[in-house]
Structure 1
Amino acid sequence: MQFISTRGGTLGAYSDVLLEGLAPNGGLAVPELLPQFTNDDLERWRPLDYAGLATEVLALFATDIPRDDLEQLTAHAYGGGRFASEDVVPLQKLDAQLTLVGLSEGPTLAFKDMAMQYLGQTLDYVLAKRDRVLNVLGATSGDTGSAAEHALRGRERVSVFMLSPQGRMSAFQRAQMYSLQDENVHNIAVKGVFDDCQNLVKRLAEDIDFKRGNNIGAVNSINFGRISAQIAYYVWAWLRATDELSADARDGFEVSFAVPSGNFGNILSGLYAKLMGLPVRKLVLAVNENNVLDEFFRTGFYRPRNAENTLATSSPSMDVSRASNLERFVFELLGRDGGRTAAAWSELAETGEIDLSVAQHTFEPLFGIVSGTSTHADRLATIRGVHDASGVTIDPHTADGVKVAREHLEDGVPMLVLETAKPQKFADTISEALGSPVDVDAETQALLDAPQRVVELDDDEQLLRDFIAERVLR
């Protein structure tokens, strides 16, 4: 399989785009053709464990990696006790209509582990094959950073430079990242918001000389390796949700997914799963008060906000006003036309917005994406309501997903809500919602008390360039 840029041009095979990050023309890597699977494939995959299913899904994209090697990579990523649940991704009913898809069983208690554990294994494999090193440059609004660092820490061929918005993450999120003392991990707290961090990463990634001279790559959701790995858990969730149906009843049986969304990578994987053949009725995009994506899917106008107008909320991992992966969606919306996509992003750079309202009517029937916004009051009420009704405590981002999911329920169509993190990562909000302090176990307290290793930098591109150039692997 070959990959192309959303702005035109061929990029190479799967292993090539794993290492490249942004395309040279500033676009994102996408498959030249989306692979397809059938109901017979789904039934053949049904008995597999999670690692086995991931191998089947990833093999559709990673055609340049030998099958035996890919099986070993997924076995190492999803086996060996790395995930708390034996199923890796357990499903749990919240009520008669909603089911929680447990994506937070990994080492950093967030859904980012699902892709990052695989990506860590695969990067090591590709770099060893090519006798190369890679300096990963990324930005995080909370969970990507810790998942990446825990997947890549201590590796000889990889170093990590992770930008995070100073003071914008929870204490637990900061501790998970900043307490790491590995020499190949560099935490950089930027004075700004997540979008400022992301903009710095993009500017350096678009500088081809700097990027190649310093072996710069990416592991945030612009890396297609993460997108491809996330497709597997949509397939897994559909299989488990239909296990009790007869073979005839589950052929083409549709479910809906509700997805808390920040950078649009998680729900994009669901869209790809749908376009590849998974019977999905709706993809419900849930955002917080930074509701740029909700506005886009309701109106067709994409108007990213600046840093001053990006709010700090109680679901901080979704405090994003400029979603990188939306470009991949727009590429699909515009008929997979790289020229039209490049023109749209040029218009965005010039005017600060894109008007796709003429195509807006295609959003729901063609792609099945609907959307909604959740506020602080909504997530508190949802956390409290779910806890009172089921005894299950959900984190604030998952609460956003549950709240918006309930606005899009349909009779006879199961609604699967993707869990994004464990609640202990956001103890203050959980305490506020439930009206009582959250018990902090000894392990969590030790993490919070551990020495932290982080460098604070202004939102200054040259300062960041100098910092990285002095510390990269060569």
Structure 2
Amino acid sequence: MTRTDVRYVSTRGGMAPQPFSETLLEGLAPDGGLAVPAQLPSVDAETLEGWRALTYPQLAAEVLGLFATDIPREDLARMTAAAYADFPDEVVPLRSIGGGITLVGLSEGPTLAFKDMAMQFLGQALSHVLERKDQVLNIVGATSGDTGSAAEHALRGKERVSVFMLSPQGRMSPFQRAQMYSLDDANVHNIAVAGVFDDCQNLVKRLSGDLDFKHAHRLGAVNSINLGRIAAQAVYYFWAWLRVTDAVEPEFRRGFEVSFAVPSGNFGNILSGFYAKGMGVPIRRLVLAANENNVLDEFFRTGVYRPRSAADTYATSSPSMDISKASNLERFIHELVGRDPRRVADFFRAIDEQGFVDLSAEQPRFDAEFGIVSGTSTHADRLATIRAVHEASGELIDPHTADGVKVARDHLEPDVPMLVLETAKPQKFAETIREATGIELELSPELRGMLDAPQHVTEMVDDEQALREFIAAHALH
């Protein structure tokens, strides 16, 4: 397979094509859109089969090499080896839980959540690019639970990067808060905002949209608006397909379809699967699992997209999915409207003017053309699913993964393996596990020490000016 040059443009049409390295540093595009490949790279069946014997870091270098065509392959191989060095030998284990469902284990990293899979690579890639350019970067991000800790653990102590991570006050689990707030590295700044995740995300977008402020303080992003995150997450779709088809006779592997169920909040994880499918992974369906904040489920079932306000966003027992305005949906809309920036702009203009967009005429395409279906899981569903999975298989799953399993069961098809992307280790949500099963999870001395450690966090009202002043006072220059 020939490695062709891939450039990136904005969903809103106002950014000249640029290489992967520049998209890593930009975050939000200068015109307010998101970076997308001008042409999605593709993988033929022979190449895919040739990757079967690779380790996960080796496969990551190959897949990411299709996106990062401006970074030498030997540098990518070094970065991916370093990114997954502290994971177990089997970086992404697959394990059956019965009933035709297999879990894709994505929580073997330092913060026990799937965000580590991309963030550990992103930490390596940002350091590489900044060193090469002799620059610094101030990351401003928002987290609903796991992105923040994964980013901070990947970037802590790095000389050329500072992290300003916004999180919603009182909306994360005690474990999630401790993973972030217990860090005392000089380059890590935790900011707890009075509001919900969408308020944090809106602050990040407003600062990123102010190009003068962004450039003056060298702002970047590690949320899934950063294309590097999306690219790195696509790798485990390739890996999971290869591992499932290891058991398939070689003559039947080509085109052998599997489905993936993905717990979804900001639409980044499932978007990576959408890209993997477009690149050539034989994926039949991508099953979007929402919790009670089911704006995305409503959209994919009806074609009506109606973001909710902060006041209408529920605090649930799967808090990383408590999002009512998914940033990465813009990348899907870009594909849906034929990559026409004017129609993307019309989509968001309609939301601003009337609070919703009616694309019900396009809704049949969601499954027929793109293979995306969806469903909703509630707190009662989570408890019942955690309990049932444990009774049937002995496995304990976290509440977000339980949302995925619940919705996956509604979309099982004969002879099509269903893979559920695991979101986190159950230890991060001990209270919900106790409620579901009565089991008191034991924590290692290291994790108990983290929970008991002093916490370092700045509480802030939902105020853009206060955030600007804080960043200006603490940013690297």
TM-score of the pair, normalised by structure 1: 0.98
Match runs of 1:363-378 below 5 Å: 363-378=366-381
Are 1:8 and 2:13 matched, yes or no?
Answer: yes
Secondary structure of 1:341 counterpart = helix
Are 1:25 and 2:31 matched, yes or no?
Answer: yes
How many residue pairs are counted as aligned between the two chains?
471
Q: Structure 1, residues 430-471: CA drift from partner, whole Å, max 9, x if none? A: 000002433333222211100000000000000000010110
**Separation in structure 1 between the aligned mates of residue 119 and residue 402 of structure 2, nearest angstrom:** 23
Match runs of 1:392-411 below 5 Å: 392-411=395-414
Check conservation: 2:261, 2:405, Cα contact below 8 A.
yes
Aligned to 1:35: 41
Amino acid in structure 1 at the alignment position of 2:449: A
Aligned to 2:136: 133
Superposed displacement of residue 11, structure 1: 4.1
Check conservation: 1:11, 1:23, Cα contact below 8 A.
no
Q: Structure 1, residues 100-149: CA drift from partner, whole Å, max 9, x if none? A: 00000000000000000000000000000000000000000000000000
Larger displacement relative to structure 2 (92-101 or 214-223): 92-101
Aligned to 1:298: 301
Structure 2 portions without partners, runs of 5+: 1-5
Match runs of 1:66-465 below 5 Å: 66-79=72-85, 82-83=86-87, 85-465=88-468
Q: Structure 1, residues 299-339: CA drift from partner, whole Å, max 9, x if none? A: 11110000000000000000000000000000010011111
TM-score of the pair, normalised by structure 2: 0.98
Aligned to 1:49: 55
Amino acid in structure 2 at the alignment position of 1:396: P
Superposed displacement of residue 258, structure 1: 0.3
Amino acid in structure 2 at the alignment position of 1:52: Q
Q: 1:63 aligns with which of 63, 69, 75?
A: 69
Structure 1 portions without partners, runs of 5+: none
Amino acid in structure 1 at the alignment position of 2:274: L
Superposed displacement of residue 234, structure 1: 0.2
Q: Structure 1, residues 77-105: CA drift from partner, whole Å, max 9, x if none? A: 112xx11x311000001114000000000
Check conservation: 2:148, 2:165, Cα contact below 8 A.
yes
Superposed displacement of residue 245, structure 1: 1.0
Check conservation: 1:11, 1:29, Cα contact below 8 A.
no
**Separation in structure 2 between the aligned mates of residue 360 and residue 162 of structure 1, nearest angstrom:** 36
Amino acid in structure 2 at the alignment position of 1:225: G
**Separation in structure 2 between the aligned mates of residue 43 and residue 323 of structure 1, nearest angstrom:** 34
Check conservation: 1:51, 1:75, Cα contact below 8 A.
yes
Superposed displacement of residue 5, structure 1: 0.2
Larger displacement relative to structure 2 (10-19 or 255-264): 10-19
Larger displacement relative to structure 2 (338-347 or 150-159): 338-347
Check conservation: 1:11, 1:17, Cα contact below 8 A.
no
Amino acid in structure 1 at the alignment position of 2:186: E
Amino acid in structure 2 at the alignment position of 1:361: P
Check conservation: 1:289, 1:375, Cα contact below 8 A.
yes
**Separation in structure 1 between the aligned mates of residue 99 and residue 223 of structure 2, nearest angstrom:** 35
Larger displacement relative to structure 2 (117-126 or 440-449): 440-449
**Separation in structure 1 between the aligned mates of residue 132 and residue 259 of structure 2, nearest angstrom:** 40
Check conservation: 2:291, 2:318, Cα contact below 8 A.
yes
**Separation in structure 2 between the aligned mates of residue 165 and residue 368 of structure 1, nearest angstrom:** 33
Alpha-carbon RMSD across the aligned residues, in angstroms, is 0.8
Superposed displacement of residue 353, structure 1: 1.2
**Separation in structure 1 between the aligned mates of residue 378 and residue 99 of structure 2, nearest angstrom:** 25
Superposed displacement of residue 207, structure 1: 0.4
Secondary structure of 1:381 counterpart = helix
Check conservation: 2:17, 2:38, Cα contact below 8 A.
no
Check conservation: 1:116, 1:148, Cα contact below 8 A.
yes
**Separation in structure 2 between the aligned mates of residue 357 and residue 469 of structure 1, nearest angstrom:** 45
**Separation in structure 1 between the aligned mates of residue 99 and residue 398 of structure 2, nearest angstrom:** 20
**Separation in structure 2 between the aligned mates of residue 350 and residue 49 of structure 1, nearest angstrom:** 50
Secondary structure of 2:454 counterpart = coil
Check conservation: 2:300, 2:363, Cα contact below 8 A.
yes
Superposed displacement of residue 229, structure 1: 0.3
Check conservation: 2:12, 2:341, Cα contact below 8 A.
yes
Secondary structure of 1:243 counterpart = helix
Check conservation: 1:110, 1:422, Cα contact below 8 A.
yes
**Separation in structure 1 between the aligned mates of residue 344 and residue 352 of structure 2, nearest angstrom:** 13
